[in-house]
Structure 1
Amino acid sequence: MTTNDVYAHYIDGEWVDGSGTETFESENPATGETLATFRRGTEAEVDAALSVAEETFAEWRDLSYIDRAEYLWEIYHELRERTDELGEVVTKECGKEISEGKADVTEAWHMVEWAAGDARHPKGDVISSEIPSKDAYMRRKPRGVVGCITPWNFPVAIPFWHMAVALVEGNTVVWKPAEQTPWCGQIIAEMFEDAGIPDGVFNMVQGFGDAGAAIVDDSRVDTVLFTGSAEVGHEVASKVGGEPGKLAACEMGGKNNIVVTEEADLDIAVHAAVMSFKTTGQRCVSSERLIVHEDVYDEFKERFVEIVAEVAVGDPLDESTFMGPLIEAAHVDKVTRYNDLAKREEVNVLVDRTELDPEEIPEGHEEGYWVGPFVYEADADAPLRCTHEEVFGPHVALLKYDGDIERAVEVHNDTDYGLAGAVISENYRQINHYRDNAEVGLAYGNLPCIGAEVHLPFGGVKKSGNGYPSAREVIEAVTERTAWTLNNSKDIQMAQGLSADIKTRDD
């Protein structure tokens, strides 16, 4: 498992140091302390992992769904029993406050439960043939080797979005966790080892973008499942899209909106908007734009700003904290740059806690990556970068609109992204119009635009994605469908009225 206190890769059922000599550290973003040290993977480790994944595929594929799922049930029980313990690890490594850390683990065992339980559900479809003597149906087959590349903000949940379904469906896996959260990756790999999964079926290579690129580029990988930034995801999709027979399902970022109509319950609206700051805005589904009708705008703004100005930022292990730190120094720089950009674009700043009061930072956490909420109001029609580019932090714009729900949806759709969104209204006609016309993959009524359930598809449209690398829809990316027709007659009868007679030159 370790050599000289340095954690290794998990390849072919063994803990492997690999050929690379470089190491990297997992850091607590709230304190700056080093949590653990890890081997940095190279192309050699990726090559080894892909080789064994390819070699073991046929044996794994030939097991029944039920037998494959049994390994996942072992992990399900361990995740559930260790939710509090692992939730604390998540919080220490990625900085989300403790209730969110535990929720991350809970979402993981929900996903494993769904995937393992699905093993006993019907697979494929029986279809009526045009010919009475024929049986027609569809069967699924695993694609082969699945490469999984996952982000740091849900370091336990999202890996199981990808891997649980891929494995139950009969694929083998090579996984690269995010370099910011390798400790969570280590624990997940230990769970697979403890579950006794056959050697080579599950493999983990720690490392950075070069290791991920080696997975994406390799011809032995049949499907790539990616969750992360739009920039990287589009590169993945463009590479894979040009290779015949290879698939990619990518869930990427968003510039998400909450629409608050003139018929909204403002108690719901304000609460839903404040929830935008969960995970310190570092969710792909966090709302960075609040589109509010002019009739309720002033009251909404007053109530929202009052709460945001006082929301608790601090030690993520403290249950009284609402927002923890950002993930790393580079992200503090990015969020700060966008806050400064908003000011240069002459928005009206309502809350600016970019630099926290030193008294807000808990003792012993001075080296953490702290940024508080930033809220401003802007012209809904202005082509501002701050209102159209994803920040991935606690950066939120209020956009006032007049007119009807059609106008609100017009403003809503005026971004390059289309991941998540919500509408707050007591008028079902407004909700239905939003439902039918908002350009999003995940939509909510009278809710925040976070909190997806694992058995629903998760992905977006436009710049936000080209697939759904989780739950039911990911099955499409990790399996092939075979249309099968069986003739039960002694005669050959063809569809569309075609004759089965063979004519010769003498006919």
Structure 2
Amino acid sequence: MTVINHFISGVETAGNGTDTKPVYNPATGAVTGELRLANRDDLDSTVAIAKKASETWGDVSLAKRTAVLFKFRELVASHVDELAALITAEHGKVLSDAKGEIGRGLEVIEFACGIPTLLKGEYSDQASTGIDVFSFREPVGVVAGIIPFNFPVMVPLWMAPMAIATGNAFILKPSHRVPSAAMLLAKLFKEAGLPDGVFQVLHGDREVVSGLLTHPDIDAISFVGSTPVAKHINEVGTAHGKRVQALGGAKNHAIILPDADLDNAADHVAAAAFGSAGQRCMAISVAVAVGDAADLLVKKVEERALAIKVKNGTEADADMGPVISPESKAFITKTVTEAEQAGAAMVVDGRDLVVPGHEEGFWVGPTVIDHVQTEMCAYTEEIFGPVLVVVRVEDLDEGIKLINANPYGNGTAIFTSSGAAARKFQRSVDVGMIGINVPLPVPVAYYSFGGWKASLFGDKHIYGPEGVSFYTRGKVITSRWPEANHASGASYNFPSN
């Protein structure tokens, strides 16, 4: 059994905490590791090291910072197979999917390598006689990143390269379910030449999270997770004077119009619903079938769901792996059962799936539920599993109204051949990220990722230009260099031009 430690001040260490948690392989149900949890002393020492490191790292030249990031990017790219194996072993997603998330993380590292152009300020010569005004941005100091289980590499790479490129120190608190990939990232940062203390990994439970939210030397919090926790993170963090970006949950809808290519729509809706066993905040969990599209769409999605190969993610032909835990499986099963009892139609039922040779794994098969009503738990809850619910509406206007009434506003999509319908949709929905004939509208690295409403707390999205803004603070300087023996022009009046 592997023992997973912390990474503090450039070295792997057991820390002072005595509590541990088991780490599972979801495909087999076996305990594969023992994770050491930090105590308050570990937290305080880690933050103190980060604070000291931030004071010097923020003064390092942009050229040297980017040199480290370029090297880190090459190291991550050369360790894709190793990182993917760690993800699959602890998360369960198939290897190709794990490699895909690493690829999206690499894009953000590449964006962060351009930090010299992203941190350029502005300059106004002769704003008033003999007076110049200019601006620049400085790092906030020490940033804590608290991440979910579903993207053990991509989400840290959405945060840490941006924070580090802009001159901050970064403390990563991974999910206790998927801790190993974070440790490899820490070692790759060190190999890339990052000074000790600028990137650290601290494992822990609620005590550590609470400590990060309230510690006086933590300046900013980046969080991705469920909406209730995101709301709590934002409230507690901001109450303690911290800058917070907290990305919450989702209930992502895809509207399918009768004029859409229904084979194309079914392909993409099925992939977006069942990829990674539906454990994505950008998964399509609601298919909004408009008018005559409904019956044929449901039939086509059913065919695709039944064809999905659910296996151990290490198998070459696997399309989908297990869910993360027995608790997750139980919640998914309970929610599907309640929908069935409330009158929804079971099209594909994955509740009793057994994978031969992996009977102790945490398996739920692709599930499709038709004729779902908006008051059903299958619609109101973020199931976070391989469940697609189908809601039928009469027209596009009803579909838009349905989406806007939902408390979440993370991502949405429309499948249509009508440019007019697509344009109406993109301008009318109260959602932060929109796909047009694209099921997973995750923005590329030079835009920013984030939703609206209950999917985001705080005013800055993650990575991209808003990520640069979040991890820095602006300064504006008004400068005058009077000539010797020149009248100052000082006045008791409020200064003006």
Residue 330 of structure 2 aligns to a residue whose secondary structure is helix
Corresponding residue of 1:465: 456
Corresponding residue of 1:229: 226
Residue 48 of structure 2 aligns to a residue whose secondary structure is helix
Could you tell me whether the CA contact under 8 Å between 2:433 and 2:441 is conserved in 1?
A: no
Could you tell me whether the CA contact under 8 Å between 2:442 and 2:449 is conserved in 1?
A: no
Distance in 2 between residues matched to 1:193 and 1:293, nearest whole Å: 53
Could you tell me whether the CA contact under 8 Å between 1:171 and 1:478 is conserved in 2?
A: yes
Corresponding residue of 1:409: 400
Residue 341 of structure 1 aligns to a residue whose secondary structure is helix
Matched length: 488
1:44-83: CA deviation from partner (whole Å, max 9, x where unpaired): 2111110111122211111112212222222211111121
Aligned equivalent of 1:86, options 67, 83, 88: 83
Residue 139 of structure 1 aligns to a residue whose secondary structure is strand
TM-aligned CA distance change 1:321 to 1:492, over 3 Å: farther
Aligned equivalent of 1:430, options 401, 421, 427: 421
Shift, 1:122, TM fit = 5.0
Shift, 1:204, TM fit = 1.1
Distance in 1 between residues matched to 2:244 and 2:492, nearest whole Å: 44
Aligned equivalent of 1:399, options 391, 405, 420: 391
Q: Does 1:385 align with 2:388?
A: no
Shift, 1:87, TM fit = 1.4
AA aligned opposite 2:468: I
Residue 376 of structure 2 aligns to a residue whose secondary structure is coil
Distance in 2 between residues matched to 1:61 and 1:234, nearest whole Å: 30
Structure 2 runs not aligned, ≥5 long: none
Could you tell me whether the CA contact under 8 Å between 2:413 and 2:441 is conserved in 1?
A: no
Answer with 338-347 or 325-334: which moved more: 338-347
Quote the sequence identity (%). 26
Residue 231 of structure 1 aligns to a residue whose secondary structure is helix
Shift, 1:479, TM fit = 0.7
Corresponding residue of 2:279: 282
| TM value normalised by structure 2 | 0.93
1:443-469: CA deviation from partner (whole Å, max 9, x where unpaired): 111011255423221111111012323
Shift, 1:408, TM fit = 1.6
Could you tell me whether the CA contact under 8 Å between 2:413 and 2:437 is conserved in 1?
A: yes
Shift, 1:132, TM fit = 6.3
Distance in 2 between residues matched to 1:209 and 1:287, nearest whole Å: 30
1:279-428, aligned counterparts within 5 Å?
Answer: 279-356=276-353, 358=354, 361-363=355-357, 365-378=358-371, 382-403=374-395, 405-428=396-419
Shift, 1:487, TM fit = 3.6
Structure 1 stretches of 4+ with a deviation exceeding 4 A read 127-130, 488-493
TM-aligned CA distance change 1:311 to 1:128, over 3 Å: farther
TM-aligned CA distance change 1:304 to 1:127, over 3 Å: farther
TM-aligned CA distance change 1:231 to 1:294, over 3 Å: same
1:239-258, aligned counterparts within 5 Å?
Answer: 239-244=236-241, 246-258=242-254
1:247-279: CA deviation from partner (whole Å, max 9, x where unpaired): 100111100000112321212211121112111
Aligned equivalent of 1:262, options 252, 258, 283: 258
1:137-191: CA deviation from partner (whole Å, max 9, x where unpaired): 3211100110111111110111011110001101111111110111112211221
1:61-80, aligned counterparts within 5 Å?
Answer: 61-80=58-77
Shift, 1:127, TM fit = 5.2
Aligned equivalent of 1:449, options 440, 457, 472: 440
Distance in 2 between residues matched to 1:270 and 1:489, nearest whole Å: 71
AA aligned opposite 2:382: E
Distance in 1 between residues matched to 2:130 and 2:419, nearest whole Å: 49
| TM value normalised by structure 1 | 0.91
Shift, 1:310, TM fit = 2.7
Distance in 2 between residues matched to 1:176 and 1:410, nearest whole Å: 38
Could you tell me whether the CA contact under 8 Å between 1:124 and 1:139 is conserved in 2?
A: yes
AA aligned opposite 1:205: L
Distance in 2 between residues matched to 1:247 and 1:502, nearest whole Å: 37
Could you tell me whether the CA contact under 8 Å between 2:213 and 2:240 is conserved in 1?
A: no
AA aligned opposite 1:399: V
Distance in 2 between residues matched to 1:279 and 1:225, nearest whole Å: 23
AA aligned opposite 2:385: G
Distance in 1 between residues matched to 2:252 and 2:487, nearest whole Å: 56
Answer with 57-66 or 4-13: which moved more: 4-13
Q: Does 1:51 align with 2:48?
A: yes
Corresponding residue of 1:474: 467
Shift, 1:308, TM fit = 1.1
1:484-495, aligned counterparts within 5 Å?
Answer: 484-487=477-480
Distance in 1 between residues matched to 2:253 and 2:2, nearest whole Å: 45
Distance in 1 between residues matched to 2:290 and 2:312, nearest whole Å: 36
